[in-house]
Structure 1
Amino acid sequence: MLLGHMGGPFWARKDERAWSAPKGAVEAEERPLDAALREFREETGIAPPPGPYEDLGEERQRSGKLVRLFAVEADPDLTAFTPGTFTMTRGGRSFEVPELDRLAWVPLPRAAELLVAGQVPFLARLPR
């Protein structure tokens, strides 16, 4: 499974429960799969692999955010990884932080340990 380690100072020294599938918000008039493909490109700098995609459904996160994930069998070239960034304000100062600081291929048992808890239920829905 392809996972991204979350960027920013909060996640810098964490490993377990600090990884996520690339994800983001659906914009107005956008279909969920289109949003997932756009977010994948924005967060990784890698072109989304061709489908077909499997809709893994939705899970409510601890934050209250509803996350929907899609799966595809693919082997994208991770050397093209160029993280997207977001602006963080801390101590009155704003700075750019990578959304993900690295990507890794992870076996499913290890993914269950690394993923943020709210995304672990998606693992059981992956096609076998």
Structure 2
Amino acid sequence: MAKQSAGILLYRGIAAEAEVLLVRPGGPFFRNKDKGWWTVPKGEVMVGEKAFQTALREFKEEIGYLPDGEFIALKPVVQKGGKVVHCWAVRGDLDASQITCNTFTIEWPPRSGKMADFPEVDRAMWFSLDEARLYINERQVPLLQELEDLVE
């Protein structure tokens, strides 16, 4: 079975002025990556966990904020590696410069024997829908299109 991931697409504004919150993964592999590497805050669905519960948990872990309101299920997308991403859109607002997030530990530099901690997400930012299409993982673009259709 394909890996499952779940996330929240937080948005503010309406119609052509709508903006979405995207995050850039943390850690040394993403340090110099920008366009095409941003994503909705998301994470892997654990055994016995419902995808929506995962989406909320991951948003809280990666952003430090728990959104509430009317959640709209979007059509799942499949990323290049075959991972299925379930996503819910919800209206909300927060200061993207003030996120707090969990960290992970890896050996860095590779084969050095040294362990280093990195944030799961190194940056969050609000993007217009047009800008978001340039920065988001290309396989997640349909989530933006579906949201645009809903907020118009």
TM-score, L = length of structure 2: 0.77
Size of the aligned set, in residue pairs, is: 127
Give secondary structure in 2 for the equivalent of 1:29: coil
- How much does 1:87 deviate? 2.1
**Partner residue in 2 for 1:9:** 28
- How much does 1:81 deviate? 0.8
**Partner residue in 2 for 1:83:** 101
What does 1:31-110 correspond to in 2, within 5 Å? 31-46=50-65, 48-89=66-107, 90-91=110-111, 92-110=113-131
Q: C-alpha separation between the residues in 1 aligned to 2:22 and 2:45?
A: 20
Give secondary structure in 2 for the equivalent of 1:15: coil
- How much does 1:80 deviate? 3.8
- How much does 1:114 deviate? 0.1
Give secondary structure in 1 for the equivalent of 2:85: strand
- How much does 1:6 deviate? 1.5
- How much does 1:79 deviate? 4.7
**Partner residue in 2 for 1:122:** 143
| Percentage of pairs with the same residue | 39
Question: Which of 8, 16, 19 is the equivalent residue of 2:38?
Answer: 19
Q: C-alpha separation between the residues in 1 aligned to 2:92 and 2:61?
A: 18
Task: State the Cα deviation string for residues 55-74 of structure 1 (Å, max 9, x = none).
Answer: 11211111221111111011
Q: C-alpha separation between the residues in 1 aligned to 2:31 and 2:134?
A: 17
Provide the aligned C-alpha RMSD in A.
1.5
Cα distance, 1:63–1:88 mapped onto 2, change above 3 Å: farther
Give secondary structure in 2 for the equivalent of 1:75: coil
- Contact 2:102–2:120 (Cα < 8 Å) also in 1: yes
Gap regions ≥5 residues in structure 1:
none
* 4+ residue segments displaced more than 6 Å: none
Q: Which has the higher strand share?
A: 2
- Contact 1:49–1:76 (Cα < 8 Å) also in 2: no
Q: Which amino acid aligns with 1:112?
A: R
Question: Which of 131, 134, 138 is the equivalent residue of 1:113?
Answer: 134
Gap regions ≥5 residues in structure 2:
1-19
- How much does 1:121 deviate? 1.4
